Chain A
Amino acid sequence: MKQNRRWAEIPKEQNSGGSLSLNDKSIMKGLLLILASILTINVYGKDYFVQDFGVRGDHITLNTRSIQTAIDYVSENGGGRLVFGPGNYVTGSVYIKAGVTLHLEAGCTIWGSTNPYDYIMDSTVKWKALIFAIKQENIGITGSGTIDGRGFTTAINTLNLVHRGLIEDEMKYDRVREWKRPENIYFRECKNIKIRGITLKDPASWNQTYDQCQNLVVDSIRVDSKSYWNNDGIDIVDCKDVVIRNSYFDAADDVLCLKSHDPTKLCENILIENCVARSSANGLKFGTVSRGGFKNVTVRNLTVIDTYRSAITFAAVDGGIIENIVVDGVKSINTGNVIFLRIGDRWSSGKKPYMKNITIKNVYAEVPLRKPDEGYGYEGPVEDLPRNVSPSSIVGLPGYNIENVLLENIEIVYPGGSDSFYAYRGLTAAALDSIPEMPAAYPEFSQFKELPAWGFYIRHAKNITFKNVTFKAARKDYRPAVVSDKVNNITFTNVKAEEPDAGDKKQFFFYKTDSVTIK
């Protein structure tokens, strides 16, 4: 309840009002469908208590087999809640089965074993996790207890086993690959899932993956996870009908993360609302793995704080599509970048990516001069230097325009004060053409190093609309506010650039751009 109250305090962003667009209507219809289906799931059977199955909450006993015995029993006897009372329960990998909800009462912590051998490498997903569910229905994890993966220790222990020659791993970046380190939760091909109230801490890899699942509700959870590399907050992979709401994420890697691993599948009909994100990577991220794509996603009332990279990154870099996305209400404070939309060609293998019909509105953002995630565990890497503070950007590829983007009611405050002796990108044709396309690079807002604008940079795009947008620089910048390069049809309605001592500097610069409308 305490958490709920906290969410209520987050001021709701102003809706732009007026009638819904066609796009919004179809999404609302989708949302209603999701809600209707969710209401039908919320039926619990009997309650069972773990201690009745020999499970001990003494922080010593390894309960793996007893918890599994209990889950199997509950599932085989019509389902219900398996209740963990206050206590400290140590376990290795367990599998949730149909009809079973793990209910963690207040004062309960499920501790992941720190012994790598206590984790199963699942044969379906080829990944390790503490709590698996594979092809199950009507399952969940609820309550106000905690799951603590103790991932740092487990990761280091795994590393030691590799160095001793007991586990094989190629050790990219001198760390064991993600899938050989356990996540807290990995659900695959499951239906009707409820994750509510719990706190997830410190896995050795990502926190929680929902892969090819349907009807998933994540409500009022808290992720606190800066224990090791790749600590994502939540990964929704090729899922349909998902709601994530009222949740708080503080993690080392991307936190609200939609992915698409399967080129034949999509992330579809997804609502994310009233969430707070803190990350040493991105707040809201589509990708990086983006083989199939992302469609019909609505994000409302998102707060991003102390985040190293972007508040919003949409990456279509592996042949996937991104379509019909509405982000409404974003507060981005002390965050390295606000918006980064990118088409790339990393692992497309012939598949044609596109990104279109993107609305981002009601955004207030402050971009700092200093590193936003200073002092947090597993800080983001210092890279892509030298570079002055980067602008937001929309960057497609030659032949792959990012299309139909509406940016409305947006205010971004930048520090300005860029130093042209430190890093410089001019506005000559040669200078602008020298910005590399980098189709196969890992997509990050900083990948192009110095960009020629301090507010917004757009390249390879079509039908871009800025409406009621204000860019503010705290100090004088050598660059213009906006640079548009190889864009077809760009409209500015009530767009302002405020910069001290700017004189008569031209703040909007158009290069190889057709049909510019300024109102």
Chain B
Amino acid sequence: MKRIRLLLLLTLFTTVFCQAQEYKASLFGCISDGITNNTSSIQAAINFIAEKGGGRLSFYVGRYLTGGLELKSNVTIELHEGAVLVASSNINDYMQFENERALLFGKNLKNVNIIGKGVIEGDPGEYFQIMGELKSKQFLQPGYLAHTPSLITMVSCSNVKVEGIIFQKSLQYAQKYISCDHIDLNNQIIRNNTIENSGSVVFQNTKSITLKNIFIDANGQAIVKDRNSEITMVENCITASGTAVL
């Protein structure tokens, strides 16, 4: 009897412990209707999970509209199959961090995972239409346009894994890594052919990059890397025209 109780307690403990890792987006009131702007809910979720010592924020099928978010260490964003993170088309919805704007922004972080079979996408048509309207009124601060948001920007982060994600119709870059190390990108589909001459994945001063099973369909260069960046492994990465990504 005593042993059974102990066993029960153990099972309970492990299930509670394991479940504590996952936080569903709906817990924080995120709404997957594609028109509700979820920025503050998702940000609250990320902050909450980070305060709890880390975990996984899970999005299931649906379209989650959001503006710029600030990622935190040890918080995983999981987009299950059919889940779409939709980038707001209004530049004001993106906080500017130094010179960067991004849908998912991280700085000085460790252990950041963005995983799943879901989609992260923008709507460049609408984005640049709004930008055009704003520019015509000349109310924008100079240099605003230079800060078109990427879908992901990481600055000085280490141990970043972006796995399984489908990136499409990004506003400029799909992913940008600046002064990062240990970047693991795998099983990605990147369809970024709406903006001319933009790279899809950008590395600046970034070390220990591994690229595996990535398909890139882009107008500009598939991968842009500066002299200080080091790619340690490339495996099965190909562009839409069948050429190697590098």
Q: Using CB atoms and an 8 Å cutoff, list the residues of chain A in contact with chain B.
A: 48, 52-54, 60-62, 65-66, 68-70, 73, 92, 115-118, 157, 160-161, 164, 166
Contact = CB atoms under 8 A, between A and B. Distances in A.
Given A53-B137, A66-B93, A117-B28, 20 more contacts: A48-B139, A52-B134, A52-B137, A53-B134, A54-B91, A54-B130, A54-B133, A60-B35, A61-B37, A65-B67, A65-B93, A66-B90, A70-B139, A116-B29, A117-B29, A117-B44, A118-B40, A157-B29, A161-B28, A166-B48
Interface in B51-84: 67
* Smallest CB-CB A-B distances: 6 pairs: A62-B37, A117-B40, A65-B92, A52-B137, A66-B92, A117-B44
Nearest to A53: B139
B43 interface: yes
B206 interface: no
Contacts of A62: 36-37, 39, 93
Nearest to A77: B139
Contacts of A52: 133-134, 137, 139
**A interface SS class:** helix
Contacts of B4: none
A198 B84 CA distance: 40
A164 B37 CA distance: 21
B146 interface: no
Contacts of A60: 35-36
B130 to A, nearest CB: 5
B204 interface: no
Contacts, number: 56
20 contacts: A52-B133, A52-B134, A52-B139, A53-B137, A54-B91, A54-B133, A54-B134, A61-B90, A62-B39, A62-B93, A65-B90, A65-B92, A66-B90, A73-B139, A115-B29, A160-B29, A161-B28, A166-B27, A166-B28, A166-B44
Interface in B18-47: 27-29, 35-37, 39-41, 43-44
A68 B96 CA distance: 14
A115 B40 contact: yes
Interface string B126-145: 00001001100101000000
A160 B93 CA distance: 26
Interface in B90-138: 90-93, 130, 133-134, 137
Contacts of B137: 52-53
Contacts of A166: 27-28, 44, 48
A490 B137 CA distance: 71
Contact of B40 (A68, A69, A70, A92): A92
A115 B139 contact: no
B26 to A, nearest CB: 10
Nearest to A69: B92
A157 B130 CA distance: 32
Given A65-B93, A66-B90, A117-B41, A161 B139 contact: no
A341 to B, nearest CB: 45
A53 B141 CA distance: 12
Nearest to A93: B40
Contacts of A116: 29
Contact of B41 (A53, A65, A115): A115
A115 B44 CA distance: 11
Given A117-B29, A166-B27, A166-B28, A54 B90 contact: yes
A325 B27 CA distance: 52
A62 B41 CA distance: 13
Contacts of B41: 115, 117
Among B28, B29, B35, which residue has the most Cβ atoms of chain A within 10 A?
Answer: B29
Contacts of A161: 28-29
Contacts of B40: 92, 115, 117-118
A61 B36 CA distance: 7
A118 B93 CA distance: 12
Nearest to B144: A69
Contacts of B91: 54
A157 B67 CA distance: 21
Contact of A164 (B27, B90, B130): B27
Contacts of A157: 29
Interface string B159-181: 00000000000000000000000
A52 B138 CA distance: 9
Nearest to A51: B133
A370 B90 CA distance: 55
Contacts of A117: 28-29, 40-41, 43-44
A82 to B, nearest CB: 11
Nearest to B43: A117
A166 B43 CA distance: 12
Contacts of B130: 54
A479 B27 CA distance: 59
A92 B92 CA distance: 14
Contacts of A53: 92, 134, 137, 139
Nearest to B65: A62
Nearest to B91: A54
B108 to A, nearest CB: 23
Contacts of B134: 52-54
Nearest to B44: A117
Among B90, B134, B137, which residue has the most Cβ atoms of chain A within 10 A?
Answer: B90
Nearest to B90: A54
A61 B92 CA distance: 12
A20 B19 CA distance: 75
A286 B130 CA distance: 49
Nearest to A67: B92
Contacts of A92: 40
A52 B44 CA distance: 30
A69 B93 CA distance: 10
A509 B85 CA distance: 76
Contacts of A73: 139
A415 B230 CA distance: 90
A357 B60 CA distance: 67
Contacts of B37: 61-62
Contacts of A160: 29
